[in-house]
Chains A and B, each alone.
Chain A
């Protein structure tokens, strides 16, 4: 089941992130997709705010992974924009982050598609027609037992 929201400002995108964070628990993985400038980092800044991260949350494009503390839970903020291959993603220790019991927030998650757990949240962001408008679709992916 998916839900789509429309936000009209960066602040509102952050606010949506704060609200979304309420349902997150240890071990959760949030896979964000969307083009440059759609607000992935903003949404994650909201999630981190909602989780109680005190540290400064900026884009990890260069460092690939940032980590923060949220009341004792480690939050991994990954950004695979610069990454070329799944091997690189394995190399940065991605599978350990996912299975660490922390919360894993991933920008450009499509690049890690093969490594994403079956159970996760997919968040897709799109540009609206106006410079400030964004459409955010959130879908909870649940593993189906056959």
Chain B
């Protein structure tokens, strides 16, 4: 069965074709734009999605080697996200499915991150503990079986990836901050500054990362590295690497601690990390170490399935379709859709 998955909830316009659960194509606009238009960073918001949706879907069909008439279902993100952006994908998907007279399935973006773990082998077993950590989200979810989720905790302020981006900005580094900090941190001393770890209440699975951001800011100001009256930072390479390592260690400590808390409370043998921040090498190293120590199976999807992508949307579509679930054409975009 051929399922087309479409994702337009935030910056990326993405589409993928799944054939009986196997990814046949997975197209993301930033790559397409890069290849075809020479490295232009796509602009934010719905105008870009409107411009890109047709070429991205066409490319996904082309790479998969099928014609649109061979599609048997269209799955699309209907939330959470920016309404204007969501509507582009949702309306396109509805029209396509309606025209082709095939089922259309609305997908929760966060649910799709959970099931990105089911794209490649080995597939996780239930119950599955999943940490979704990206620029826009930080959630810890317990999945007891297909589509039975329990949101254990989420960020009370900034997402982990957002903290990386904002600290990178303070340090005068580029965007996105995650990969740059990760790279510099490898050469630095994680114990150089003990930035505070916000673990919240003893039994809380929630996260808070705005405090770490503020601590870095005050450290820079206190050491006259970032003058109060200007944004211009002067910093030598060694100090920069030490700060990156110390900041990264603080964020990863918190993420690891929350996984450990959940492992103490719930009987879980499979743990997954999804979302863009799962590419962070320190988070990978620490979760792998934890997996060995605690004897759980660790799942981290391939990077192309970690960032926003169409394959994970198609995967949820396929799973739902197998379970006899389809959506009504009256389905609307829901900006603050929760799990």
- Tell me which residues across on chain A come within 8 A of B335, comparing CB atoms: 63, 65-67
Determine if B260 is an interface residue (Cβ-Cβ < 8 Å): no
B129-170, CB < 8 A from A: 134-137, 154-159, 161-162, 165-166, 169-170
Report the number of A-B residue pairs with Cβ-Cβ less than 8 Å: 90
Contact B136–A83 (Cβ < 8 Å): no
Task: Please count how many residues in chain B sit with their CB below 8 Å of the partner chain's CB atoms.
Answer: 37
- Could you say which of B45, B46, B158 contacts A61, with CB atoms under 8 Å apart? B158
Across the interface, B136 reaches (CB within 8 A) one of A36, A62, A93, namely A62
> Is A84 an interface residue, CB under 8 A from the partner?
yes
Q: With A59-B162, A63-B10, A66-B336 as known contacts, state yes or no: A36 contacts B213, CB within 8 Å.
A: yes
Q: Tell me whether A56 is interfacial, beta carbon within 8 Å.
A: yes
Q: In the complex, A83 Cα to B11 Cα: how many Å?
A: 11
Contacts of A87 in B (CB 8 A): 43, 47
Contact, CB under 8 Å: B82 / A61: no
- Find A131's partner among B80, B137, B157, B218 (CB 8 Å cutoff): B218
Expressed in whole angstroms, the Cα–Cα distance for A37 and B166 within the complex equals 9
Give the CA-CA distance A87 to B162 in the complex, in Å.
23
B327 contacts the other chain (CB 8 A): no
Shortest CB distance B87–A (Å): 10
Contact A82:B169 (CB < 8 A) given known A58-B158, A59-B159, A93-B83: no
* CA A66 to CA B47, docked complex, whole Å: 19
A-B contact pairs, 23 of them (CB 8 A): A36-B213, A37-B218, A41-B158, A58-B156, A58-B159, A59-B159, A62-B10, A62-B134, A62-B136, A62-B137, A62-B159, A62-B162, A63-B80, A63-B81, A63-B82, A64-B45, A84-B43, A88-B43, A91-B46, A92-B45, A127-B217, A127-B228, A131-B214
* Bound CA span A45–B84, Å: 24
The docked-state distance in angstroms from the alpha carbon of A106 to that of B336 is: 17
Residues of A whose CB lies within 8 Å of any CB of B are: 36-37, 41-42, 45, 55-56, 58-59, 61-68, 82-85, 87-88, 91-93, 127, 131
Inter-chain contact B80/A64, CB cutoff 8 Å: no
Q: For A91, list chain B residues within 8 Å (CB).
A: 44-47, 84
Would A59 and B210 count as touching, CB distance under 8 A?
yes
A56–B156 touching, CB < 8 Å:
yes
> Across the interface, which residues of B come within 8 angstroms of A127, CB to CB?
217-218, 221, 228
Closest to B214 in A: A37
Cβ proximity bits B300-320 to A, threshold 8 Å, 1 near / 0 not? 000000000000000000000
Known: A41-B157, A59-B162, A127-B221. 5 other contacts (CB 8 A): A61-B136, A61-B166, A62-B136, A92-B44, A127-B217
Interface status of B281 (Cβ within 8 A of chain A): no
Asked if B214 and A88 sit within 8 Å, CB to CB, the answer is no
Q: Complex Cα distance A26/B32, Å?
A: 43
- The answer to whether B44 and A88 have CB atoms under 8 Å apart is yes
Q: A56 to B119, alpha carbons, bound, how many Å?
A: 31
Nearest CB on B from A79, distance (A) = 10
Give Cα A55–Cα B336 distance, bound, in whole angstroms: 9
Counting CB contacts under 8 A, is B232 at the interface?
no
**Bound: A130/B156 CA distance, A:** 23
- Provide the bound-state CA to CA distance between A56 and B82, in Å: 17
Q: Kindly provide the distance from the CB of A21 to the nearest chain B CB, expressed in whole angstroms.
A: 18
Q: What residues of A have a CB within 8 angstroms of the CB of B80 in the complex? A: 63
Closest B residue, CB atoms, query A81 = B166
Q: Once the chains bind, are A92 and B46 in contact (CB under 8 Å)?
A: yes
Name the distance in Å between B336's Cβ and chain A's nearest Cβ: 6
Contact across chains for A82 and B44 when beta carbons are under 8 A apart: yes
Verify if B292 is at the interface (C-beta below 8 Å from A): no
Alpha-carbon distance A87/B335, docked complex (angstroms): 21
Determine how close the nearest CB of chain B comes to the CB of A102; give it in whole angstroms: 13
Of the residues B44, B84, B137, B169, contact of A36 by C-beta under 8 Å: B169
For B215, the chain A residues whose CB sits under 8 A away are 131
